[in-house]
């Protein structure tokens, strides 16, 4: 994946000292446009097409299977706070399924390898050595974010073949809750948003809708966490990446100052945002 495919930062996730207790609920998949969640004594279904944000806070207004009333504050908290083991499959489309990263050594190393291959800039001398250093830095940043972020503020999503006979991480994306004022000014009064970054796909699996499935999983996550907007950055001259994001519903709202490339010698980036709306 070209380095312009959404800006990658290994250690930019905000640090939160408070640890949240993960609820004993679990995500059970999508069936006929409904998200199934079971646990805590109740079974919930979120109608994707009719989900809206409840007034005064984050989280989706959902209907309990046994009641037509709006869930209690505690139930809304349960639906918003998911740990690494509770998502199951967020998206299963185009031959790929996307789920949350399992926090174990082998899988984290595989994710670091995928992102390092996508974002490493080759050097003339000692390239293999520099790559190993970069991959170690990516892994360190991933561990840091997983260990220091509440379960509804950061997630690393991984894509793998839908076939149960082939389990291999082929794509990765980071999703982080942020409050950057430079972005918020374009979001119509929103207090925070989900920032999509670090999109990476292995070379052998590019142009096979892996990135599209990852972006759709980000949409799903925004609904589950109750965020109205998603945002990302892309290099202005990376037309392929910008087309991918445009097809996923993102629109350009701002860009780096013109002198970024003239004075600093960096590629100019644009900010792209979309309103949370999972399309079936």
Structure token digits, residue 245: 């994001």
- DSSP letter (8 states) at residue 82: -
User: E strands within 118-257?
Assistant: 154-161, 171-178, 193-201, 229-235, 251-255
**Distance (Å, rounded) from C-alpha 147 to C-alpha 33?**
33
Burial-class residue 14 by CB neighbours within 10 Å (0-12, 13-18, 19+): middle
Residue 180: CB atoms within 10 A of its CB come to 12
Question: With contact defined as beta carbons under 8 Å apart, do 111 and 169 qualify?
Answer: yes
User: E strands within the chain?
Assistant: 25-31, 34-39, 42-47, 63-64, 89-93, 96-100, 154-161, 171-178, 193-201, 229-235, 251-255, 269-275
Residue 94 is among the residues annotated as catalytic for this protein: no
The one catalytic residue among 154, 193, 229, 245? 245
Residue 54: CB atoms within 10 A of its CB come to 16
**Distance (Å, rounded) from C-alpha 68 to C-alpha 176?**
32
Question: With contact defined as beta carbons under 8 Å apart, do 84 and 102 qualify?
Answer: yes
Interacting residues of 235 by C-beta distance below 8 A, sequence separation 6+? 3, 4, 241, 267, 268, 269, 270
- DSSP letter (8 states) at residue 204: G
Q: Return the active site residues.
A: 245
């Amino acid at each position: 994946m070209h380095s312009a495919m959404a800006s990658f930062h290994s250690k930019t996730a905000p640090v939160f000292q408070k640890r949240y207790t993960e609820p004993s609920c679990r995500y059970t998949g999508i069936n006929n446009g409904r998200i199934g969640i079971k646990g805590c004594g109740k079974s919930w279904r979120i109608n994707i097409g009719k989900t809206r944000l409840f007034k005064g806070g984050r989280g989706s207004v959902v209907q309990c299977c046994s009641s037509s009333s709006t869930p209690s504050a505690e139930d809304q908290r349960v639906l918003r706070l998911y740990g690494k083991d509770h998502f199951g499959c967020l998206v299963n489309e185009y031959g790929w399924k996307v789920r949350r990263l399992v926090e174990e050594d082998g899988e984290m190393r595989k994710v670091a390898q995928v992102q390092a291959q996508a974002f490493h800039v080759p050097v003339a001398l000692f390239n293999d050595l520099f790559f190993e250093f970069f991959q170690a830095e990516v892994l360190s940043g991933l561990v840091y974010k997983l260990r220091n972020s509440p379960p509804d503020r950061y997630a690393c999503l991984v894509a793998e073949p839908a076939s149960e006979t082939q389990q291999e991480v082929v794509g990765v994306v980071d999703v982080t809750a942020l409050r950057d004022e430079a972005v918020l000014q374009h979001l119509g009064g929103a207090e925070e948003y989900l920032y999509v970054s670090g999109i990476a796909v292995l070379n052998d699996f590019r142009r096979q809708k892996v990135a599209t499935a990852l972006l759709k999983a980000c949409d799903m996550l925004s609904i589950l966490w109750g965020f109205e907007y998603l945002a990302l950055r892309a290099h202005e001259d990376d037309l392929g990446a910008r087309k991918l994001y445009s097809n996923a519903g993102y629109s350009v709202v701002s860009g780096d100052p013109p002198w970024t490339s003239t004075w600093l010698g960096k590629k100019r980036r644009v900010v792209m945002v979309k309103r949370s709306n999972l399309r079936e």
